[in-house]
Chains A and B, each alone.
Chain A
């Protein structure tokens, strides 16, 4: 596990050198603007708008970060030929993948914490209550981004960075719209079309379940069962994506 930890630490430091934390400043500006400009237009629903916007931007910034960093993690090692050096050492390929995943997850975790802290500060300054539902929403958003981190490695294991980014955004959108597939399937007359849509629904990650902005607006904390199953589901989904990435990556030739 030392190899995984070392790789994760290097991935994290490498990401920090890329100044990803500029995203936090952009986030801060967007939120301040929302809190102070949209508030008078929202007819007394300024808190709601700030929360909705804050959590949406958090989720989208996380996606952007993974698209920018995650899809280039392996490609960069290949392009710089450092992958050859890495694999020449007593390091397994699964350790390379797991190390990269943990490093990327660390970056995403830090950014999520930073954005949540900014959101909480903006809400506090605007006089809105900040409670456990906000932290729960942040944790759920982190789990969602964790699944995306694993998928970014899976996608880069067999395609280019650009295509990986494109597919990752598609997966994010599809995951959020997953329930619409089942609703559409119920309306279709063809059994085959219903089967196809239901199958696609089963394969897609249920990102819609990880959106908790409504709960934060209504001040509802996350239940223990909800948190447990959200975590188990995200872990298993990420594990499956990493396993597939490994199966594709293990025989890949580097020159």
Chain B
């Protein structure tokens, strides 16, 4: 018995292991190549509503929101690498924001994904829900205004949202600038002048103050129509 055991040396064992390793790598590659998975048509269909999940969470609704958020991110990542279509994004973001209405990133990220998916009305709904649940968030008001400024071209809506954003604590300088630009486009000269004046006096950046003064000069010298200017 001992004689037989000596015949199988560690070197032979290692060589055999290496051969098996090569076989595993080759067969694993072939297996992965022939293993075609079907698309899951019912993907996330059974994911319940955020309100239901929040109730079922026994008080851990933030945990539920986190779980739904991670699921939403994975869903986005999976489809971003594949078909770049996100038909369930609105559903997922609704779940996250129902479970935690103060989840700002969900509104901001969700709106971007929905815009990418061509669902502008859904994006506007999500941002509107965000500002209703978080009226003191300048970021959400800014995003809503920016959304109207860029996508719906509704200058009045954009000006309204951006003006609110600009008034909220912590709002960045560029919010006022965009609010002023939106007001100009909306033809609301009085608001535009007021906002540019604030920027021209309060901005910490000399270049921005100079641009604001130029815009003010242009507005004040341009044709007016009862306090309104035409869209540029």
Interface residues, chain A, with chain B CB atoms under 8 Å away: 42-43, 45, 48-49, 90, 92, 202, 206, 209, 214-215, 217-218, 220, 223, 225-226, 229-230, 232-233, 236-237, 239-240, 243-244, 246-247, 250
State whether A233 touches B45 (Cβ < 8 A): no
* Given the contacts A92-B1, A233-B31, A250-B5, A214 and B46 also touching, CB distance less than 8 Å: no
State whether B46 touches A42 (Cβ < 8 A): yes
Q: Nearest chain B CB to A90's CB is how many angstroms away?
A: 7
Report B69-85 CB contacts with A as 1/0, cut-off 8 Å.
00000000000000000
Give the residues in chain B near A237, CB-CB below 8 Å: 24
14 A–B contacts, CB within 8 A, in A order: A92-B1, A214-B37, A214-B40, A215-B38, A229-B31, A230-B31, A230-B35, A233-B28, A233-B30, A233-B31, A236-B24, A237-B24, A243-B20, A244-B17
State whether A229 touches B38 (Cβ < 8 A): no
Cβ 8 A contact of A229, one of B25, B27, B42, B45? B27
Please, how many angstroms separate the alpha-carbon atoms of A45 and B25 in the complex?
38
Check: B16 CB closer than 8 A to any chain A CB.
yes
Q: A229-B30, A233-B27 are in contact. List 6 more A-B contacts (CB 8 A).
A: A92-B5, A215-B38, A229-B35, A230-B31, A233-B24, A240-B24
State whether A45 touches B46 (Cβ < 8 A): yes
Cβ 8 A contact of A236, one of B5, B20, B42, B46? B20
Give the residues in chain B near A226, CB-CB below 8 Å: 31, 34-35
- Chain B contributes a number of interface residues (CB within 8 A of A) equal to 26
Shortest Cβ distance from A211 into B: residue: B37
Report B32-52 CB contacts with A as 1/0, cut-off 8 Å.
101101101010011000000
Please, how many angstroms separate the alpha-carbon atoms of A218 and B37 in the complex?
10
Tell me the chain B residues, 6-22 only, with Cβ under 8 Å from chain A.
8, 10, 13, 16-17, 20-21
Check: B223 CB closer than 8 A to any chain A CB.
no
Please, how many angstroms separate the alpha-carbon atoms of A12 and B1 in the complex?
27
State whether A243 touches B13 (Cβ < 8 A): yes
State whether B45 touches A209 (Cβ < 8 A): no
State whether B38 touches A220 (Cβ < 8 A): yes
State whether A218 touches B23 (Cβ < 8 A): no
Report how many A-B pairs have Cβ atoms within 8 Å. Answer: 71
Cβ 8 A contact of B23, one of A202, A220, A223, A236? A236
Shortest Cβ distance from A140 into B: residue: B35
State whether A247 touches B13 (Cβ < 8 A): yes
Shortest Cβ distance from A215 into B: residue: B38
Give the residues in chain B near A247, CB-CB below 8 Å: 10, 13, 17
Q: Nearest chain B CB to A229's CB is how many angstroms away?
A: 4
Give the residues in chain B near A239, CB-CB below 8 Å: 20
Please, how many angstroms separate the alpha-carbon atoms of A14 and B130 in the complex?
63
Cβ 8 A contact of B27, one of A92, A214, A236, A243? A236
Please, how many angstroms separate the alpha-carbon atoms of A236 and B29 in the complex?
13
Q: Nearest chain B CB to A131's CB is how many angstroms away?
A: 15
Check: B218 CB closer than 8 A to any chain A CB.
no
Cβ 8 A contact of A206, one of B10, B21, B28, B38? B28
Please, how many angstroms separate the alpha-carbon atoms of A244 and B16 in the complex?
10
Check: B232 CB closer than 8 A to any chain A CB.
no
State whether B4 touches A92 (Cβ < 8 A): yes
Please, how many angstroms separate the alpha-carbon atoms of A237 and B23 in the complex?
9
Give the residues in chain A near B38, CB-CB below 8 Å: 214-215, 218, 220
Shortest Cβ distance from B16 into A: residue: A243
Please, how many angstroms separate the alpha-carbon atoms of A48 and B40 in the complex?
11
Give the residues in chain B near A233, CB-CB below 8 Å: 24, 27-28, 30-31
State whether B34 touches A43 (Cβ < 8 A): no
State whether A206 touches B31 (Cβ < 8 A): yes
Q: Nearest chain A CB to B145's CB is how many angstroms away?
A: 33
Please, how many angstroms separate the alpha-carbon atoms of A42 and B47 in the complex?
10
Shortest Cβ distance from B13 into A: residue: A247
Give the residues in chain B near A236, CB-CB below 8 Å: 20, 23-24, 27
Please, how many angstroms separate the alpha-carbon atoms of A237 and B20 in the complex?
8
State whether B34 touches A225 (Cβ < 8 A): yes
Give the residues in chain A near B16, CB-CB below 8 Å: 243
State whether B31 touches A209 (Cβ < 8 A): yes
State whether B17 touches A243 (Cβ < 8 A): yes
Max chain A Cβ within 10 angstroms of own Cβ: one of B5, B10, B25, B35: B35
Q: Nearest chain A CB to B70's CB is how many angstroms away?
A: 13
